[in-house]
Each structure stands twice: as structure tokens, then as C-alpha cells.
Amino acid sequence: MGIIKTEIKQKTIEKEVTLKGVGLHTGANVNLVFKPGEENSGFIFQRVDLEGSPKIEADANYVTNTQRGTCLEKNGVSIKTCEHVLAALVGLDLDNVIIELDASEPPIMDGSSKFFVEALEKAGISEQDALREEYEVTEVVSYTDEESGSEIILMPSNTYQITTMVDFGTKVLGTQNATLNSISDFKKDIADSRTFSFLHEIEMLLENGLIKGGDLNNAIVYVDKELSPETMERLRVAFNKDSIAVKPNGILDNLTLHHPNEAARHKLLDVVGDLALVGTRIKGKVIANKPGHFVNTQFAKKLSKIIKNERRNNVPHIDVNSEPLMDVNQIMNMLPHRQPFLLLDKVFELTDNHVIGLKNVTMNEEFFKGHFPGAPVMPGVLIIEAMAQTGGILVLSTVPDPENYLTFFMKMDNVKFKQKVVPGDTLIFKCSLITPIRRGICHMQGYAYANGKLCAEAELMAQISKVK
């Protein structure tokens, strides 16, 4: 398994687009505005009805409740029933979008992703400069909910594929399957599949004051029990209809199925939306048996954690004894640094968007004379400096005369030190572009590894400037 940088550019929307509706469970009127998102920002919900317009990233770690939809919460601010919106964003192959809301729940619309897809298409799709990352699956990952028997399995595949298998143990619905072989088929095959409930669930929800925004146009209701005249009247009033009846196929009337297996397709839609919370594109096949929001989001949390660990421990595989791409003399031809402040010995890889370098840490380093001489440890700031010098090779390789340029730090973010570096260690650095180099400004993610483990990481921004 591993994170791979694809040749596919990230995508957002060209302009803002607005939808209006009501929340399914809250019944509150809500305005939803899709806005273009910055590169590498992902999907972000923003509550403009609250002070400071707080943002909640579409992240599995913010999931708090999955009882009647997937709910996110951050710093006391919540977003309810986010999965249909997220499914539309993934289904249209988008990467970075802001979802602005003036209530806690997106509009239910018709209970599917169809209206969100149509709105996003009206907004237009725009390519960005940054390249998309994918998580390439090479080993099976699974999660099982022992209580419900629900299970999700992720296995290797050349593309992102999903199969859902639904069985609620009822005659009216029976067993259904649905498959999405390519995300490009989402709009045609999945987007218009509406949410569904069983009659006994509807009665319970009505008793508890939920589904205030529901009507027979945004939920398929499967009748799994005898309907008494009292229940019929209660439903008629709740759904504001002149009359209500049961169709021969076992669903309440005023709604025609879009697909014979619409329930399984909607469950697939939910899986697409819930797995968007992983935050990284998946290159693999998902098989979901009896999926639901709980098992979906638990799996998303598990996969998110695996990806985070892999991202941190993705040690570059290089043969340190092989001929380097650049030795120390060639490095000095490019970098202005000299001993004792040249902290890079070799460069093994250099592409348009990443560089891999090496430093052998020896006992005769100048800094060991004064930094814990009795128990020598390489100062963390010098590990970051060595990482930055590695990144300097990347940015200076973009000009024909690097010897006439100097590289200066602009900022450092998210600097973390994981373990100490001591004499005898071999440091391997990898710096990858976060955004393309523009006007000599390089924004990159850097990692430093020692003994096969991550020892430091930082987000760096530097600028090259011509020597006057």
C-alpha cells in the first residue's frame, strides 16, 4: 500500500452555486452554497449562521453520530446528514470545495444526490495546478460490526470501485446488490437513488419529532407491516397528502422507483459519501455487506489512520551504496552552503515535484562539540535545515544558473520531531511539492527518516532570489 502522486490535476468548481431546501430531520429552511476551494484543502463545511463562520473539514475523525445520517462535530459546531452532499462531490470527481450552510443540516432535496450533482455541474468544473494523491491498495483492509454483521472490505483494484449488498430480512425489500465500476458512472447510475425507510421506522421517527422536513417525495417508504386506518391517517397528516395508499410493490404511493434496486444503489451512494471522509482518493475496490453509516464511518476512521501512518512512515527505498544522482561536489555547485553548514551529502532522486537526499551523521560534526557532548544528539533545527537544503536542490533545479541564486526561508508550519538522531545514523530526506513552483516560491512537504522511521516532518516555504 502507499500514497502515490498521480498525474491527475486536482479539481474544484468554477463559480459559486446555491441551493435552497429544508433539512430532513430538523425541518429548518437552509441555503447551501458550493464555493471553489483552494488546492489541497479538500471538502470543508462552513456554518455562516454562527459567529466567526466556523469551518468543519470533511474528516472521519469529526464523526460523532451516525443514527439517522452521518453527523460531524468540531469545537461544538455540527453538520448533520452530510453524506449525500459529499457523495455528489466525489461522484463529480472534485477535490476541493467549500460547502457553505446557514443551518446545521444540508437540504434533503429529493433524498438523493441528484440536485447537488446538477448544481455543481452548473457551477462548472475547473482544473487546478496541484496534482492529486491517491491511496493505492495492495493489501486487504476490512472492518466488521459484530453486532449487526455489517462488513466492509477494501481490496486491490486498478480503479475505485464499490459493490453494496443489502439484506434487511424483510420480504418487501428482499436482497439487493448494486455496483459502481467507475466513479464516472456515478451521475448516471447512482446519483438519483433516494433514501429509504421502513414503515415501522417512520412511525418511530414521527413519535420522536424527527423527519420534520420529510415527505413522500424525498424518501422511499417500504411497508413492512399491516397498515391500520389510524396509521394511514397519521401518515397522511404528517406528509400533508390528501390520501395515502400502498402500491403493489410494497411502497407508499406518490413515488415511483427510479431503479428496481434503488435501495442498494442508495446504500452505495451513502458509502461514497461516507468514505469521502477518509480525505484521500482510494485506488481499490470496496465491497460493503449490509452497509450503514456506523460501519461506513468506522471503516473510514480505520483507513484514515492507516493512511496517516503510511504517509509518515513511507520511507523512500534507495540503495545508499549506489551511484548518487548528485555527490557532495555537485551539490556544492548548486547550493551556496559550505562546511560546517552544508548538511547534505548526496541526492538520489530529483523530479519536477520531489527530491530525495541523504546525510551521514558522524561523530565529528561541529555541532556535537557543544550540543550534549556527553550524549550527542543532532539539534532538531539542523534536521529541518538539512531538509530545507534538500528542498533547495528541488527549487534551484528550475533555473539554468543555480549558482547565481540564494534560497531563503519564508515560513515553516506543522514542524514535528518524532525521534532523536545520533552519530552513526543515516538521514534520508524527501521533499515533495504541495503546489507548483511559482515565481521562485517553493511550498513543500518535507520528511526526514532515520533507521527506517520518521524522525521529523515539516511544511516548508522558501523563495530563491538572484544574487545581486
The CATH number that applies at residue 62 is 3.30.230.20
Residues 224, 95 share a domain = no
Candidate list 258, 259, 354, 371, residue with the active-site label: 371
Tell me, yes or no, if 293 is annotated catalytic. yes
Does residue 56 belong to any structural domain of this protein? yes
Residues 33, 89 share a domain = yes
Across-strand partners of 407? 464
Residues 135, 220 share a domain = no
Residues 237, 378 share a domain = no
Percent over 70 (pLDDT), the chain: 95
Residue 215: pLDDT over 60: no
Residues 71, 25 share a domain = yes
- The Cα–Cα gap between 443 and 416 comes to 17
Tell me, yes or no, if 371 is annotated catalytic. yes
Q: pLDDT by residue (tens digit) across 398-457?
A: 888 888 888 888 999 999 999 999 999 999 999 988 888 888 888 999 999 998 889 999
Residues 231, 189 share a domain = no
Residues 150, 52 share a domain = yes
CB burial of residue 24 (10 Å; 0-12, 13-18, 19+): buried
Residues 127, 156 share a domain = yes
Residues 125, 238 share a domain = no
Does the pTM of the predicted model rise above 0.85? no
Does residue 452 belong to any structural domain of this protein? yes
Residue 167: pLDDT over 70: yes
Residues 245, 133 share a domain = no
Residue 99: pLDDT over 70: yes
Label residue 210 by pLDDT band (50, 70, 90). Answer: low
Candidate list 25, 266, 293, 337, residue with the active-site label: 293
Range of the domain at 88: 2-194+258-312
Segments in 48-96 forming alpha helices (H): 83-91
The CATH number that applies at residue 338 is 3.10.129.10
CB burial of residue 75 (10 Å; 0-12, 13-18, 19+): exposed
Does residue 273 belong to any structural domain of this protein? yes
Which of 24-38, 41-55, 128-142, 195-209 has the lowest average pLDDT? 195-209
Q: Which residue has the higher pLDDT, 98 or 238?
A: 98
Count of residues for the chain? Answer: 468
CA atoms 25, 31, 37, 41: torsion sign: negative
Does residue 37 belong to any structural domain of this protein? yes
Whole-Å CA distances, 69 to 97, 123, 165, 336, 362: 21, 26, 19, 57, 56
Residues 63, 129 share a domain = yes
Does residue 317 belong to any structural domain of this protein? no
Residues 337, 292 share a domain = no
Half-sphere exposure for 149 (CA within 13 Å, toward CB): 6
- The Cα–Cα gap between 114 and 23 comes to 16
Residue 244: name the closest of 216, 213, 207, 268 by CA.
Answer: 216
Q: How far separated are the first and last CA of the chain, in Å rounded? A: 47
Does residue 402 belong to any structural domain of this protein? yes
Residue 222: pLDDT over 80: no
Does residue 20 belong to any structural domain of this protein? yes
Number of structural domains found in the chain: 3
